[in-house]
Amino acid sequence: MAIAKFVGASVSGSSAILSEGIHSVVDSVNEVLLLYGLKQSEQGPDEYIP
């Protein structure tokens, strides 16, 4: 979706669509970080974190 917004921004020159593209990228990175956090939280205790 972000790629389509970047293409639309480059074609139209719209800064609003460009900012929506950036927002989509940031949302995607946020989802990846949430998935990483979920995976980390499922791990059992180790010698450093009981």
Which pLDDT score is estimated for 45?
84
Residues contacting 7, CB < 8 A, separation 6+: none
CA distance 47 to 44: 10
Which pLDDT score is estimated for 47?
84
CA distance 5 to 24: 9
Global pTM value: 0.77
| 18 within some domain | yes
| 37 within some domain | yes
Number of domains in the chain: 1
Domain holding 31, by residue range, is 2-41
Which pLDDT score is estimated for 12?
96
Which pLDDT score is estimated for 6?
96
The per-residue pLDDT for range 1-50, each reduced to its tens digit, is: 899 999 999 999 999 999 999 999 999 999 999 999 999 989 888 888 77
